[in-house]
Amino acid sequence: MSVEVAHITKTFGEFRALNDVSLRIRQGELVALLGPSGSGKTTLLRILAGLEVPDDGSGGVSFHEEVVTNQPVGKRQVGFVFQHYALFRHMSVFENIAFPLRVRPRRQRPSFEEIRRRVMELLELVQLSGVGKRYPSQLSGGQRQRVALARALAVEPRVLLLDEPFGALDAQVRQELRGWLRRLHQEIHVTSVLVTHDQEEALEVADRVVVMNAGRIEQDGTPEQVFHQPASEFVMRFLGQVNVFHGRVHKGRASFEDMAFDYPHYPHDQEQRATVYMRPHELDIHRSSNGVPSLAARVERLNPAGSSAKVVLRTQQGQDLLVDMPLERFRQLGLAPGEEVFVVAKAARVFVPDIAPEYMI
């Protein structure tokens, strides 16, 4: 196990940022910590780095089976990439990257030529060979991000930690850098942990996604698992758009509004409240109900601008409903605003309090 976090709790005054969190990361894995602000993801990252110390008496952190809980950040050999890069503004790009090599104790410090060679190598790795002499203020946001990454890699880190690495960049640069980071990780294969609040980023870049909420880990799995088999309502809501309906379950049936379907996971006689979640792309629109469980709704707005068409409808009880469908299907249907239609669910997820979530239909 490359990184192991065991039973860590961290409080700031009254606020409990992390609550008994445990996590194991394998050698060479790229893990994303995903969650809203205040979920504890950045605190966990900073504890991994040694920039924060877990509460006394709570668990610890180990790298490669070596306990590092009480090791100061400088001794842990981690590469930390800060959200706003934290480049040294008075040093050139070259000097920024050379910094971790120059501050080593004299006996471990590489020679002048060696430092130069290593910095050049790193500049090439992050595709910035020509800019060594420039200062951070003369670089674009994406370039600064890459310098910060090269500087962190100069430490020869056992673990690379990235705090919202693309948070401060505009959408297009972000997209480019994501792909670039993915390729870079395949090339150098250093164990990496990335913090983000952007679910798309986490799903796209990471091998594994750890969804956090209110100081706890909600779910830990592959991008596919957390997206398609969410372990909790929170994960369901946080990863992508979702339509939420409040209904009930009773004797093997689930129902909400005018829609009812089989739900064999709740065979009990006693009626229970339940929440039904349906992703927009898991819904389809039909002109007639044809006896299939469906929901009557009126078309409100149509937006075919994009890779798929978005249709906003209103149910009879006045709730908005979003449907995402392929453009072909959209053209075939030829919907018009105000039209009364039937929404059919290809999949839905029912959460009953105190019962593990189950997939239905």
Q: Is 106 in the site for other proteins (CB under 8 A)?
A: no
Q: Is 117 in the site for other proteins (CB under 8 A)?
A: no
Tell me whether residue 15 or residue 88 sits nearer to other proteins (CB atom): 88
Find the largest Cα–Cα distance for the chain: 80
Cα 95 versus chain centre, distance:
33
Among 71, 92, 99, 237, binds other proteins (CB under 8 A): 99
Among 80, 227, 234, 351, binds other proteins (CB under 8 A): 80
Q: Round to whole Å and give the CA distance between 77 and 152.
A: 10
Q: Round to whole Å and give the CA distance between 328 and 349.
A: 26
Contacts of 124 (CB under 8 A, 6+ apart): none
**Least CB distance from residue 45 to other proteins, whole Å?**
12
Among 37, 137, 172, 288, binds other proteins (CB under 8 A): 137
Tell me whether residue 166 or residue 227 sits nearer to other proteins (CB atom): 166
Q: Is 126 in the site for other proteins (CB under 8 A)?
A: no
Among 32, 78, 93, 160, binds other proteins (CB under 8 A): 78
Q: Give the H or E element holding residue 19.
A: strand 15-25
Strands 243-250 and 253-256: antiparallel
**Least CB distance from residue 5 to other proteins, whole Å?**
18
Q: What sign results for the dihedral spanned by CA atoms 61, 65, 68, 74?
A: negative
**Contact range with other proteins by CB under 8 A, out of 45-53, 113-121, 230-238, 286-294:** 45-53
**Least CB distance from residue 196 to other proteins, whole Å?**
17
Q: Is 166 in the site for other proteins (CB under 8 A)?
A: no
Q: Is 160 in the site for other proteins (CB under 8 A)?
A: no
**DSSP SS3 for 73:** helix
Place of tokens 């056992």: 158
**Least CB distance from residue 165 to other proteins, whole Å?**
13
Among 73, 173, 242, 360, binds other proteins (CB under 8 A): 73
Among 26, 64, 90, 251, binds other proteins (CB under 8 A): 90
Among 103, 171, 305, 336, binds other proteins (CB under 8 A): 103
Contacts of 161 (CB under 8 A, 6+ apart): 45, 48, 49, 78, 79, 80, 81, 152, 192, 193, 194
**Least CB distance from residue 90 to other proteins, whole Å?**
4
Q: Is 22 in the site for other proteins (CB under 8 A)?
A: no
Residue 96, token pair as written in the block: 């920024």
Tell me whether residue 77 or residue 232 sits nearer to other proteins (CB atom): 77
Q: Is 84 in the site for other proteins (CB under 8 A)?
A: yes
Among 49, 61, 323, 343, binds other proteins (CB under 8 A): 49
Strands 60-63 and 3-12: antiparallel
The torsion of the CA quartet 123, 109, 89, 145, rounded to 10 degrees, works out to 40
Q: Round to whole Å and give the CA distance between 317 and 337.
A: 18
Residue 288, token pair as written in the block: 């007639």
Contact call for residues 97 and 146 (beta carbons, < 8 A): no
Q: Residues 229 to 248: which contact other proteins by CB under 8 A?
A: none
Q: Is 110 in the site for other proteins (CB under 8 A)?
A: no
Contacts of 65 (CB under 8 A, 6+ apart): 1, 4
Contacts with other proteins, residue ranges (CB under 8 A): 49-51, 72-75, 78, 80, 82, 84-91, 99-100, 103-104, 136-137, 140-141, 144, 151-152, 154-155, 168
